[in-house]
Structure 1
């Protein structure tokens, strides 16, 4: 309770009744002590440790305690009356001098033992006149875990508890983190919080990470155990001892002087600490026997044919320059005259470097054949290159070329008459194929790529080489990948259900606009192509619409009904003219009545079906007819100025053209049957219209 006279807190406790003690009664008496700031922690930790022992023994909640435990609890409860002697200050600052405080800082003390681990926070207020006041702000003590744990780990748990308490006080007093100093008498724990958390085992590393997340390791200091006030809580105090202990309420005496007089000890983190993960260092070495004859510029170390050739050309230039310098020192005037080289490589130098790599590939793949030909001998009967009749290059005798039968064709270049032989599985061949494919921008197929290579090279099993390159080239895979095809859904019911009469089920769509002239000096008007496509026979019917309104479409629909009969079902998209036509037909159907349905087109039972919104692929069967009609009309008419009559004629001509298209395979033999066309469903035969004589004299883009 709060004593207003001296602004302090005190504790009042009603002595327990003399009833038989049980585990439940003991816990009830313990919970009756209200201590939110933990100022009684050295006293209450004794009861908490004893209650933990009751739980370890396995005493039931309502079982009476034995004589030994009863004696201990009775002695502990008898000390509760001494709590009234405690006078804990409420304010952290001196009353009446709150405005003269210069600095406020926190000091956190932690400690641990086999029985408990504790953490206490003191507020140090330094005034402008040099006086210092230290007050206990927050404290907490907890029993150690039932599971056996080492003292350094318990010290680390106490450090975590101290960090949490300091964070609470900082938030309440609005103090920065840097104004807090942490004290501990455990060197192991101080080494841990200054080391990297990843070096330790999981349990220790996680606790170190939590401590380091809130503060730096340099804020921890060492304090001797005799000066650590947290050491008293781990042993426990009686209520009378707690009330008369000045160190508990005002902190250790070394906090009153300045910072220079505080305990200090140099903390050096050793390389080996308890709890560290000992990782075995395994050093593996790859031993490779390198022959002195192996050339350092090996093709396997390069991914570009151009770079490999240029490096070899620079090597040859360096060798030639060294030879010329040596010759010039001997007094050779010709060598001194040709000692200056150009900045860039010449074509002769690059060609020599290329021929060097050609000869390397041939010599490594066909050593016996290469040895026989370079020494002037003939090939054996079973030699793999015998069928190519290989010959040596005239300018570079170290390169093998195909003999062939074009020796006398002097008008052809040398690489066409005698291409260079390249082996199938050599790295040089792979680099040349990759360079040619990169030159073509990966846009040609294997056969085209091989054709380009065959202009200067004869690759053994060339098709296999180009196809293998195509299969492993990432850019070729991206450019020539096969797109995934979705499985086509089954045909809807209106495409397969009877009756099978033409235009019994139609799909309708619009195309255009098409501009027509109305006379001299008059404005051109827009006309539209109204496409009716039979959903079963693929026949089409074209009508010219004078607008996109509902009235214009109803007139076109009426002309269809009079020429092709009334359809039983109509499929369209969600165009406003189609929706309006369907509504007017439905209203006319309701207005006429069931007895007059036979007298009007609206009462013929036309069922209108709309595709889902924003789904033109649902109408693909008539969208493709629209595309074909536009292609047939636009290719002929282009930008020609037509009248309405001429436009209708063009539409009917396109209709006849599309209705005569074959629906089945075209015959390739005289005895095969004629292909089936939509005209067979309309007239029973394929109409063949002969052109008039005047047609040949007309221009397709003129009237």
Structure 2
């Protein structure tokens, strides 16, 4: 018989984490015994009375935080181990962790022979599914905010494959020409085809981001005051696009300038559109890019995403560099 125990650290550690550390200790002990007795690679039954630790062990290790992931990785280094659940009242390891007088230990059959059901067939052993409760989910690795998908990032994933709006529109236009089985014989795209491709992505973006507002407007209702579009007095035109209404309708301007198309703040299409106008204005500033975009589009809270994009632009970052001025010796 071989046993081992460790004292809990002075640093406050949760009980499930301590139970997981005990499982790591058990794996190391099993490897040492198997190496000393020269036991072949046969199934080994390892037991724990922690349902949370059992849930961590039986799950994919990459989903947990570093503390749990590193220990689960070491536990999985013993692939022939079969983890099972043992009730706390029938766990011999509790005699070590809780302490027991020597006189009682001499007569403790649980310590010397194990639970009574251990000598029976494996079908009579206690079984319990891993507990994927809120306690185990606390150690789940959180997804970075930058990778969190917004509703406007759903839909056709073609827009994520290209870093240029012009390239995306041309590919979309070619796909439209092929699937429509048109009688074009020219190998050059027309401006109307590229513009239709742009309108396709704008409409998809609006349907994903402002589906509720469009449904309310088409139903003849007023959009909610909590909507970010409430102050824009939006309306849906005859082609199903969401546009801005206002006093500019009396101005001597083009239709797109008087009623620009609405785009969400966070969207792949919006990001590509900002990039396109940023290059078109020769890496212009925030106000210049917004003026260029608003001739046809209106980004909700557009100043923030435009400024953020400029700060990430490497060309603009190099131009903002200030050379150091050394003091005279």
Give the TM-score, by structure 1 length: 0.24
Comparing both structures, which one devotes a greater share of its residues to strand? 1
Q: Which protein has the larger Cα radius of gyration, Structure 1 or Structure 2? A: 1
